[in-house]
Amino acid sequence: MLKKLFQTLRSPLRRVRPARPTPQVLAASQHNLHREQISRNAVGVVERLQQAGYQAYLVGGCVRDLLLGITPKDFDVATSATPEQVRAEFRNARIIGRRFKLAHVHFGREIIEVATFRAHHPADEEQEDNNQSARHESGRILRDNVYGSQEDDAQRRDFTINALYYDPHNERVLDYAHGVHDIRNREVRLIGDPTQRYLEDPVRMLRAIRFAAKLDFAIEPHSAEPIRRLARQLNDIPAARLFDEVIKLLLSGQGLRTFELLCEYELFAPLFPATAAALKADPDYAGRLIRQALINTDERIRIGKPVTPAFLFAALLWPALPARAAALQAHGLPALAALQEAAHELISEQCRRTAVPKRFTLPLREIWDMQERLPRRQGKRADLLLENPRFRAGYDFLLLRESAGEVTGGLGDWWTRYQEISDSERRQMIRALGSGEGKPARKRRRAPRKRPAPADGGQD
Ligand code: ATP
Ligand code: MG
């Protein structure tokens, strides 16, 4: 069906394509998108707005994904109604956002995001109305509430593939920016001048990577070219927005491919400076650990298991920990205190880049603390650890470290076996550790015991 659609379209291959004053209209027979594939609530919102006399369409990712045969993750609506007018139509609507004001219409757990058609900002700063529009001297748009026509709205969207509108009433797709052409060619292409569009909103660089990875598209060369040069612009983006973006980048099922692209386009360092430094210092170990964490995460998402930012951030920051702790030790802190302080510093620094909420930094610390505790298994310690709600994450993290080549003296295997066996066998395993093994180093002075060095890396 998609093939048929594409055959019906002309394919201008010029790079700079003039904006279409009137859209290319694809009738129902020319595309493979069906009304039934769309959330009923979203269709309901569009119909209600249309009945009230407004223009309203499904827009953005849902149209793009459905044309590609992908199930959309959510449904966005674009309308000529202002957020206040949307709220007046729906009892279950709330207005959110200051930088970008829009209405959320709530249906139980489903939220339909309804955005008012927007226009580009006036080129002449004098004309800017500070209530609606504000721009930083770099060109960054600080407030984006200048309303406009549907055509204006299409031109100020980020990528051509995201500027497609679907009307569920007549089942037509409206294409103002040659988005269907780029879907066919599997290309992520910014609308307008790439440098200017990235300066207006540097997060678009991350979005380019995200869509390229998610859809397995190439980034069109002119849209790719400015990214490395402008990567540092991300430093000026609020940390809370970057955290949200990092989650979408790395926890959407294409984490590994996204990571490779972020590194390729030099966007990883502005997001994770300490990790980037660790990757530079020890690319083999740090690279293996991070890639393996992302492979595991992608696999969990594929099979429908839950994933948490706490584990991912624990893995991303872990390679930066030893150097930081060593520096503090060199300043005279004892080993354990240095490690604790290094962990604290690293997490706070990372939060200044990507504001990781407390509900994730607390378990992150627990996963790391667990790495200190897992080797100490004497007496009742092993059983207490096993009952710890964070045990599973700590154990998984230990296996991850081992898979990246960290030497732990067979600790992962020991814990794997310990979980599988009976109580009496567990007692035997603990006894087999011997009295010295697994206990924290004591400061008490004691004559060294005379015994041959163990051959199996420390386990006896
Ligand atoms: P997905 O929901 O699959 O992540 P999406 O394309 O729907 O992808 P959203 O973040 O939901 O992405 O945004 C909805 C639409 O709003 C986009 O398709 C795009 O048209 C527009 N948009 C979002 N963010 C920006 C931005 N920073 N600059 C310009 N347009 C944007
Ligand atoms: Mg969306």
Domains and CATH numbers, the chain: 26-185 (3.30.460.10), 272-433 (1.10.3090.10)
Residue 116 CA, ligand 2 centroid: distance in Å: 15
Ligand 1 pocket check for 74: Cβ under 6 Å: yes
In ligand 1, the atom with minimum distance to the C-alpha of 201 is 27
Q: What is the mean pLDDT of the chain?
A: 89
Q: How confident is the model over 406-412, as a mean pLDDT?
A: 92
What are 77's strand-pairing partners?
A: 58, 114
Output the residue whose Cα is nearest ligand 1's atom 12. 61
Q: Is the CB of 153 under 6 A from ligand 1?
A: no
Residue 72 alpha carbon, nearest atom of ligand 1? 3
What are the phi and psi torsion angles at 22 (to 5°)? -120, 145
Quick one: pLDDT at residue 21?
Answer: 75
- Residue 157's pLDDT is 96
User: At residue 3, does pLDDT exceed 90?
Assistant: no
With 90 as the cut, is the pLDDT of residue 99 above it? no
Q: Once rounded to an integer, what is the mean pLDDT over residues 252-278? A: 98
* Banded model confidence at residue 351, pLDDT cuts 50, 70, 90: very high
Ligand 1: residue of 157, 160, 193 to mutate (most ligand atoms within 8 A of CB) is 157
How confident is the model at residue 436, as a pLDDT? 57
> What is the C-alpha separation between 35 and 390, in angstroms, rounded?
45
Stretch 155-177: mean pLDDT: 96
**Nearest Cα residue to atom 5 of ligand 1:** 61
Tell me, using a 6 A CB cutoff, whether residue 173 lines ligand 1.
no
Q: What is the mean pLDDT of residues 124-136?
A: 62
Q: With 50 as the cut, is the pLDDT of residue 15 above it? A: no
In eight-state DSSP terms, residue 305 is -
Provide the phi-psi class of 272: left if phi over 0, else alpha when psi is between -120 and 50, else beta. beta
Strands 102-107 and 93-96: antiparallel
What is the arithmetic mean of pLDDT over 315-320? Answer: 98
CA separation for the pair 78, 76 (Å, rounded): 7
Indicate the pLDDT class of residue 10, thresholds 50, 70 and 90.
very low
What's the one-letter identity of residue 277? A
Q: What's the CA-to-centroid distance between 101 and ligand 1, angstroms?
A: 14
If you ran DSSP here, which 8-state letter would residue 458 be given? T
Q: Which residues are catalytic, by number?
A: 74, 76, 158
Please write the tens of the pLDDT for every residue from 28-38. Answer: 999 999 999 99
- CA–centroid distance, 113 to ligand 2, in Å, is 8
Per-residue model confidence as pLDDT tens digits over 70-95: 999 999 999 999 999 999 999 999 99
**Confidence at 443, pLDDT banded by 50, 70, 90:** very low
Confidence of residue 393 (pLDDT cuts 50, 70, 90): very high
Tell how far CA 265 is from the center of its chain: 16
Distance in Å, CA 72 to ligand 2 centroid = 8
Share above pLDDT 70 across residues of the chain, in percent, rounded to a whole number = 88
3-class DSSP assignment, residue 39: coil
Of 16-20, 226-230, 333-337, 408-412, the least confident: 16-20
- Per-residue pLDDT tens over the stretch 172-223: 999 999 999 999 999 999 999 999 999 999 999 999 999 999 999 999 999 9
Mean pLDDT of 234-240: 97
What's the pLDDT band for 140 if we cut at 50, 70, 90?
confident
* Mean pLDDT along residues 137-154: 86
- Tell me what pLDDT residue 130 has: 58
Establish whether residue 202 lines the binding site of ligand 1, counting it when its CB lies within 6 angstroms of any ligand atom. no
For the Cβ of 162 lying below 6 angstroms from any atom of ligand 1, the answer is yes
Task: Say yes or no: CB of residue 157 within 6 Å of ligand 1.
Answer: yes
Torsion angle of C-alpha atoms 205, 207, 210, 213, degrees rounded to 10? -70
In this predicted structure, which of 140-149, 187-196, 225-234, 243-252 has the lowest mean pLDDT? Answer: 140-149
The Cα–Cα gap between 256 and 75 comes to 26
Q: Which residue spans within 364-406 are E strands per DSSP?
A: none
Please check whether residue 112 is in contact with residue 75, taking contact to mean a CB–CB distance below 8 angstroms: yes
Q: What is the mean pLDDT of residues 424-437?
A: 85
Angle of helix 391-403 versus helix 358-373 axis, rounded to 10: 70
pLDDT category, 98, cuts 50, 70, 90? confident
